[in-house]
Amino acid sequence: MLAVVAARAGSKGLPGKNLMKIGNMSLVEKTIKDAVSSGVFQRVVISSENAEIISEAVTNGAEAPFVRPLELAQDDSTSVDVVLHAIDYFEQMGIHFKYVVLLEVTYPLRSYEMITRCVSKLTQNSKSFDGVVSVSTSKDHPDQGFRIKQSRIRQFNGKNKMVRRQSLPTSVHPYGGVYAVKTEILKKRKTFYPRNLGFLRIHKFQAIEIDDIGDFINAESLYPHYLEWISGKIPDLVKNSDKGVEIL
């Protein structure tokens, strides 16, 4: 099992964000420590083009067998290509992994248990799933959304009427905290969303991705409560959904 921690330096929305600290840890440090603490990986590898990020990752337990090529560290570079580069590096040395997990460092409220559960769900249900991704319940249901057409707005569901929230089907949104996928499927399909995709539903408060300063401030304010929650000081009132889906 390979973990690829993706962290480039060239953020436009919040320059230097991957080395910014929430609590007493940088985003890179927390991600590496969560990956190592999960205990499910043979290799935890940092993929970055930046020497400072690489040093931070290695100090906290990651391997840095390569420097990410600059062409894979651009604004339009894809996470799929970044992970495929890491897979190809190892396969050229004759090292093969059945599963690969992408961990992006911009998700500070991800727990190591979340990583463990996503991986376990994939490996224990490998005949049913080609991948597993963490998701959260959508704050805004797509059936209540509108699109703009010819200076007017129309509901996406085409019904042109509001539907009671209680009557809507459950909607979830991919949360990029953990992407676990079969290596051969990723190489073939070039996506972390294969057709046979399982999921782990997490609490909505964890579903924060840091893109800009507003996200950082929000995550920073929630982080002390996150620490209390994972330590058991805040009771976990919801253990399972009404359909038996794991929630962490």
Q: What's the pLDDT at 5?
A: 97
Q: Strand 25-26 to strand 21-22: parallel, antiparallel, or no bridges (unpaired)?
A: antiparallel
User: CA–CA separation, 227 vs 201, rounded Å?
Assistant: 19
For residue 133 the two structure tokens come to 């991704």
> Does the residue 239 lie in any domain?
no
| pLDDT of 175 | 80
**d(Cα 66, Cα 99) in Å, to the nearest integer?**
20
Instruction: Look at residue 245 in the predicted model and tell me its pLDDT.
Output: 40
Q: Which of 47-51, 147-151, 240-244 has the highest mean pLDDT?
A: 47-51
Q: How much is the pLDDT for 153?
A: 77
pLDDT digit string, tens, across residues 195-240: 999 999 888 888 889 999 999 999 999 999 888 888 777 665 444 4
Sign of the Cα torsion 60, 8, 222, 170 reads negative
In angstroms, what is the C-alpha Rg of the chain? 19
Whether residue 19 is predicted with pLDDT greater than 50 in this model: the reply is yes
pTM score of the predicted model:
0.86
Question: Domain for residue 142, yes or no?
Answer: yes
Contact in structure between 71 and 81 (CB atoms under 8 Å)? no
Reported as a single tens digit per residue, the pLDDT across 66-112 is: 999 999 988 888 999 999 999 999 999 999 999 999 999 999 999 99
Any domain includes 122: yes
Q: What is the model's pLDDT at position 247?
A: 44
CATH of the domain at 155: 3.90.550.10
Confidence check: pLDDT of 42 > 60? yes
pLDDT at position 234 is 67
Establish if 248 belongs to a structural domain: no
Do the domain assignments include residue 245? no
User: What is the C-alpha separation between 218 and 198, in angstroms, rounded?
Assistant: 29
| Predicted local distance difference test score (pLDDT) of residue 225 | 87
From start to end of the chain, where are the E strands?
Answer: 2-6, 21-22, 25-26, 43-47, 99-104, 131-137, 146-149, 152-155, 172-182, 197-202
Question: Is residue 246 domain-resident?
Answer: no
Name the more confident of 52 and 145: 52
The pLDDT value recorded for residue 246 is 46
Say if 236 falls within a structural domain.
no
Residue 33: inside a domain:
yes
What's the number of domains the chain is made of? 1
| pLDDT mean over 24-28 | 95
Tens digit of each residue's pLDDT (9 = 90 or more) over 107-165: 999 999 999 999 999 999 999 999 999 988 776 766 667 778 777 777 776 666 666 66
Q: What is the pLDDT of residue 164?
A: 65
Task: Give the range of the structural domain holding residue 208, as residue numbers without chain letter.
Answer: 2-230
